[in-house]
Amino acid sequence: MIIIPAIDIKGGRCVRLQQGLMSKETVFSNFPEEMAQRWVDKGAQRLHIVDLDGAVQGRPVNAETIARIVKAARIPVELGGGIRDFATLKAYFDLGIAYAILGTVALKNPDFVKEACNAFPGKIILGIDARGNRVAAEGWTEEFAETPLELARKFGPFNLAAIIYTDIFRDGMRTGPNTEATRALARALDTPVIASGGIADISHVEELLQIEKDGVIGMITGRALYDGTLDIEEAIRLSVEFSS
């Protein structure tokens, strides 16, 4: 299972939000590319980047910052936030990202996601952000009646790279991951799942490693790394030992 550091971009800076609320941000760096380099130097194999402004506005907002991160990282980057059309999708792949995360557009224009999967097989990740058992979108400002499993099954026949499942109530709160909901989703699907939200320390990494066999291939962590309650090098070592 891979440990994926998160770099959330708002106003060109590296921030973390609490429960996805744009008004509850903590700034960790004015130079996100330097933060990316830090995680690379510590052994990260992939980075998770979100254009928070783009997610809310529905268009790329921090593309220049993202370009600097991709250049500095030298490892695969998965990117979400504001990708709603083919021009944006192609531009980001041309920029060098490895995976595009599609979330809101999956609810509002599912045909686009299916076409994207056909055009870029194995390069599209479906982002499912849940508040309880309901999917949220538009930078988590809108809630839909659809459940995470219902949304995931719509795209089951297509060549998704993975599904990122985020529990919004736990995101940035360091209260522990929603392991059971993540396990249940992974067991119900053939598509690999990446866990996100709530990781606070190494015990939560150990907890998520136990559901690797259920189809969970990675975990995204942000605030715990920035606050220092989780050592990424220790988390990576534990993951390697568990998988070996």
- Residue 190 among the catalytic residues: no
Marked catalytic residue, from 51, 53, 129, 167? 129
Say which of 8, 51, 53, 167 is annotated catalytic: 8
By the 8 A CB rule, do 236 and 208 touch? no
In Å, what is the CA distance from 197 to each residue of 9, 20, 34, 131, 210?
Answer: 17, 10, 23, 11, 16
The closest of 121, 191, 196 to 166, measured between CA atoms, is: 196
The yes-or-no answer on residue 94 being catalytic is no
What's the length of the chain?
244
Nearest to 196 by CA among 13, 16, 9, 12: 16
Structure tokens at 238: 């534990």
Provide the H-helix boundaries in 102-174.
104-108, 110-119, 148-154
Instruction: Assign 113 to helix, strand or coil.
Output: helix
- Residues with active-site annotation: 8, 129
